[in-house]
Structure 1
Amino acid sequence: MRGAREVLRVEDVHVVRDGRPLLQDVSLTVRAGEHWALLGANGAGKSTLLRLLGALVHPTRGTVEVLGRRLGRVDVRELRAHVGHVDPRHPLSAPLTVRDVVLTGLTNSVAAVPRRRPTAAQEARADRLVDMLGLAGHRSARWPTLSQGQRGRALIARALMPEPRLLLLDEPATGLDLPGREQLIDALDSLRRAHPHLATVLVTHHLEELPAGTTHALLLRDGRALVQGPAAYVLTGDRVGTCFGVPLALERHGGRWTVRIERRS
C-alpha cells in the first residue's frame, strides 16, 4: 500500500540469550494494510522476531519501533494493549463462553477482570467479531467444547477487540485438521477485506497455511534474514528451498501456494 504509514520498523536487530544468538542483523518495515509471512525452519528465529514485534522482549542490540514507539523508551504494557497477539497456546482453563473469551481482549487478560463490566457498545463489537469469524452459532459455547479451529478463530476475534492497528499470529493453524485450517484461512481473508488498514504478521513454516491476501514475506534461516519483500518475489522454489535447505518447487493457484520437494535427476 504505497504511502501507508509505518506500523513496525526493525533496524539491525540482534537478540542474544545465554550467549546464543537467536537473531542477527535483522531489519524489517511493515506498513498499514500489509500482510507479512515470516517463514523458516524450526529454530530459525520466527517466534523470537514475533515476540519483538509484540513488545514481549527487547533486542540485545538494534532498534524496534512498534506503532511509532521505540522499545526501551515506552511503557510496554500500555503499548501491548494496541497490538493484537494470537497464540493458539492461549492458557485458558476456565469454561468461558466464546463471547466472554472475546471480551477478555479488552483487558488483555485470560479471564474477566473482577468489577469491570463491558459496555453495551463493547458487547455489540464482540458479537460482530464473533459473527465475522464464523462463530455466530457458537457464541454461547464453552471453551472446553470447542474444536481447535473454533478456538483459533475465537482468539483472533479476541485480539481484535481493542481495535489494534497490528495483528500478530504465531502459527495459528497449529493442530488444525484440513477443514479447520481452511476455515481459519478464510477468516483471515475476510478480516483483510473488513479492515483494509490493519497490518498482520503471520508466523509459519508451512506455505499451505498462507492466506491468499499475503502481500509480503520474510525468509529466516539460523536467525538471519535471507530475503524479504513482496510475496511473489520472495516465495519462489529457489529462495524457499535455500531457506529450508532442500530443493523445492512452488506453485500458486487462486492466490494460495503449494510446495513439493523437487526431484532432480
Structure 2
Amino acid sequence: MTEGLADAPPEPVGGAPLVLAVEHVRVTRQGRDLLDDVSLHVRAGEHWALIGPNGAGKTTLLTLAGALGHPTSGTVDVLGHRLGRVDLRELRQHVGHVDPRHRMLGDATVREVVLTGLTGSTDPVARWRPTPEQEARADLLTASVGLESRREGLWSVLSQGERGRALIARALLVEPALLLLDEPATGLDVAAREHLLDTVDALRLAHPEVASVTVTHHLEDLPASTTHALLLRDGRVAASGPADEVLTSELVSAAFDHPLAIDRVDGRWRARSRPRTTPR
C-alpha cells in the first residue's frame, strides 16, 4: 500500500502490525506545550478514541497521526514511516481523513466528492478523469454508506449527516490502513448521529484490517465498535488502553475535572453528572 515510501522500520514481532507509533512526543507552539510526553500505539484492526476537554491536545495529536505536521521532539511513525524522513504528501495518500468541516470552493455531486479521495483535493480536479474501475469502487462505497440514491445529489443540498457519510466513503476510496475521524458527529441531530455511528460500525466489520482513531468530546458519539481509548488532559496522557478499562467514571472524571458517572448500555457509552462529594 505504501510502496515507494522510504525509511520504513521493520514490523514489530508478534501481534497485528503497528500502523501508528507515537513515542514520547512533545509539540510546542509559541512557548506553550500542546502535547507533552505523549505516546500512542495503534495496531491494525484497533479502533481508538481520543477524548478530553477543549484544549487537551486531541486535534494536535490527530494532526501528527495524519502526517499533517511534525513533533517538536519525540518520534511519530505512520504506516511504518517516520515523520521527518518521508514525503508527507505521499504518505497522506495512504491515510483516510474524515473532517466534517470539509470546505469546497465550488459545488459537486456526491460521486465527484467521493472521487476526490483519489486526488487528495477538496474540489474535483480539472481535466482529471477516473478510470471505470475507480468510478465503480466509488459507487460501491457510496452505496455502502447508504447514499446510493444521492449519488448525483449536489453537496450544497446534502444534510450534515449525509455529508459525513459521503466523507467516510471518500476516505475509504484510497483503501487506507489508517482512518482518522475528527469529531464526525459534529452538528448532527440525534437521528443523523445514530445513522452515522451505525455506518461506522458496519464499515469496521466490512474492513476488519483497517485501524481508526476518532476524536470526540462526547462519549455518546463513540461507535460501539471502539476498542481502545486515550484520555488527554492539558496535553498529557491521563489514561490509555482498552476502552472498558479507560472509560470509567473515575478516570473520565479526573480528565475533565468534573464528577461524572460513566456507563455502557448496548455497547454504547454515556456520561452524566453526579454530585460532588464534600470533605467532612
Partner SS state of residue 218, structure 1: strand
What is the distance in 2 between the residues matched to 1:254 and 1:93? Answer: 41
Asked if residue 117 in structure 1 is aligned to residue 129 in structure 2, the reply is yes
Q: Which residue of 1 aligns with 2:46?
A: 34
Q: CA deviation at 1:93?
A: 3.7
Q: CA deviation at 1:262?
A: 1.1
Q: Spell out the pairing of 1:86-125 with structure 2 (5 A cutoff).
A: 86-125=98-137
Q: Which residue of 1 aligns with 2:92?
A: 80
Task: Name the amino acid aligned to 2:180.
Answer: L
What is the distance in 2 between the residues matched to 1:195 and 1:152? Answer: 18
Q: Spell out the pairing of 1:1-265 with structure 2 (5 A cutoff).
A: 3-264=15-276
Q: CA deviation at 1:91?
A: 1.1
What is the distance in 1 between the residues matched to 2:103 and 2:276? Answer: 45
What is the distance in 2 between the residues matched to 1:20 and 1:12? Answer: 17
Deviation by residue 1:113-166 (Cα, 9 ceiling, x = unmatched)? 222210111111101111111111111110010000100110111111111100
What is the distance in 1 between the residues matched to 2:213 and 2:159? Answer: 24
Partner SS state of residue 49, structure 2: strand
What is the distance in 2 between the residues matched to 1:243 and 1:85? Answer: 26
The TM-score normalised by the length of structure 1 is: 0.98
Structure 2: stretches of 5+ with no match in the other structure: 1-13
What is the distance in 2 between the residues matched to 1:59 and 1:210? Answer: 27
What is the distance in 2 between the residues matched to 1:253 and 1:199? Answer: 24
What is the distance in 2 between the residues matched to 1:168 and 1:144? Answer: 24
Deviation by residue 1:68-97 (Cα, 9 ceiling, x = unmatched)? 000000000000000001111111142200
Task: Name the amino acid aligned to 2:205.
Answer: R
How many residues are aligned here?
Answer: 264
Task: Name the amino acid aligned to 1:34.
Answer: E
Runs of 4+ in 1 over 3 A off after TM superposition: none
Partner SS state of residue 108, structure 2: coil
What is the distance in 1 between the residues matched to 2:126 and 2:265? Answer: 49
The TM-score normalised by the length of structure 2 is: 0.93
Structure 1: stretches of 5+ with no match in the other structure: none
Q: CA deviation at 1:263?
A: 2.0
What is the distance in 2 between the residues matched to 1:116 and 1:50? Answer: 30
Q: Is the 8 A contact 2:183 2:215 kept in 1?
A: yes
TM-align CA RMSD: 0.9
